[in-house]
Amino acid sequence: MTNTLPSVKETVFQILRNHGVDKVFGNPGSNELHFLRNFPDDFEYILGLDEGVVIGIAEGYAQAKGQPAFVNLHSAAGTGNAMGGLTNARNSHSPIVVTAGQQARTMTYADPMLKNTDATMLPRPLVKDSFEPLSHEEVPHSINRALNSAMAPAKGPVYVSIPYDDWEKTISENALQLEKRRVSHCGAPDKVLLERISYQIQAAKHPVLVLGPEVDGEGCNGLVAKLAEKLHAPAWVAPSAPRCPFPTNHRCFAGILPAGEAALCSHLIDHDLIIVIGGPVFRYHQNDPGTLIPDQAELIHITSDSDEAARAPVGEAVVGSIK
């Protein structure tokens, strides 16, 4: 161990390097100046003049790179302006870590200007998790946790509120362990489960695929196209999907399902097995009451999002790596 421990800021930038992050997307204010002071030469700060634009750019970058995007916003005001973008990022499973500057710890007791009151509650329920470190020693752990959480299935945005007087303080020695830490995710269904699903697919006379944004997020577009060809099955894009999971010029492409119960069911009426991959069952927005799926049909839901599996009103769900 070194005799002189680094600052919180130096440690956080090293953690970001370890996660392959070398860009910061932001629209900062005075609470963020301590983070920006002596900004490292190997990082690029990409400035947007509106927080919605910042989140949009970061989301596109995260989707294209397949790694977390790091965002720097200003306290409650900047976070509030970004909320619409967080809605999209959560629905499209985009891995984004959003940081916002909190007032100095030494001042928050008096509710000063630029204090983010109940900071962790502000972005909910549009993020996977939300932190405000209880001490400056906890800041590197919170950032590392946020990066890992954003990339964990199902991917999505995570929020960290950071008091601005934490950045220049010295870390605890244990935080040095974070600089080289990695988390990998892997998983596959067990043999019995896989055989049962395969039997259901083989027994189906008229299967249909419904594909959500996670297919594109995990780079499975080509795999589902091969599956559609093998099954001679139409492939629908799930309603309100924020990403395109299937090539629209493919012979099996059927279109985009409507976002109402009755209308959606009418498009699936001739099918006896509905295979939903990488999306919720289903994301409606039209008040169109009706039967959820045809009476004779079974539904298999394959997703990495345990929340999507838990709230689905119909079918059997398998939670794991969709690839």
pLDDT at residue 115 in the model: 85
pLDDT at residue 182 in the model: 79
| Contact (Cβ atoms closer than 8 angstroms) between residue 157 and residue 90 | yes
| CA angle at 66 for the pair 312 and 176, rounded to the nearest 5° | 105
Residue with the bigger pLDDT between 313 and 209: it is 209
Q: CATH 3.40.50.1220 occupies which residues in the chain?
A: 191-319
Could you say which of 3.40.50.970, 3.40.1190.20, 1.10.150.120, 1.10.1740.10 is the CATH number of the domain covering 8-180? 3.40.50.970
| Contact (Cβ atoms closer than 8 angstroms) between residue 306 and residue 246 | no
β-bridge mates for residue 16, sequence order: none
* pLDDT digit string, tens, across residues 26-78: 999 999 999 999 999 999 999 999 999 999 999 999 999 989 999 999 999 99
pLDDT of residue 161 exceeding 90? yes
Percent of the chain scored above 70 by pLDDT? 99
pLDDT at residue 3 in the model: 58
pLDDT at residue 117 in the model: 87
HSE, CB side, 13 Å, CA atoms: give it for residue 298.
13
Q: Alpha carbon of 165 to those of 29, 35, 81, 190, 291: distances in Å?
A: 14, 9, 24, 49, 56
DSSP 246: S
pLDDT of residue 2 exceeding 70? no
Could you give the angle at which helices 139-151 and 8-18 cross, rounded to 10 degrees?
20
pLDDT at residue 307 in the model: 84
How far apart CA 57 and CA 76 sit, in angstroms, is 20
* pLDDT digit string, tens, across residues 165-189: 999 999 988 888 888 877 777 677 7
| Mean pLDDT within 120-135 | 93
Distance from the Cα of residue 257 to its chain's centroid: 23
Min mean pLDDT across 80-84, 155-159, 177-181 is at 177-181
How far apart CA 150 and CA 68 sit, in angstroms, is 7
pLDDT at residue 1 in the model: 44
Q: CATH 3.40.50.970 occupies which residues in the chain?
A: 8-180
Architecture in CATH of 191-319: 3-Layer(aba) Sandwich (3.40)
How far apart CA 166 and CA 213 sit, in angstroms, is 38
How far apart CA 282 and CA 303 sit, in angstroms, is 12
β-bridge mates for residue 70, sequence order: 24, 97
| Mean pLDDT within 226-242 | 95
Sign for the pseudo-dihedral over CA of 53, 55, 58, 59: negative
| Mean pLDDT within 228-233 | 96
Q: Is the pTM of this model over 0.85?
A: no
Q: Which two tokens stand for residue 67?
A: 């790694």
Closest CA relative to residue 244, chosen from 220, 272, 280: 220
| CA angle at 42 for the pair 151 and 96, rounded to the nearest 5° | 20
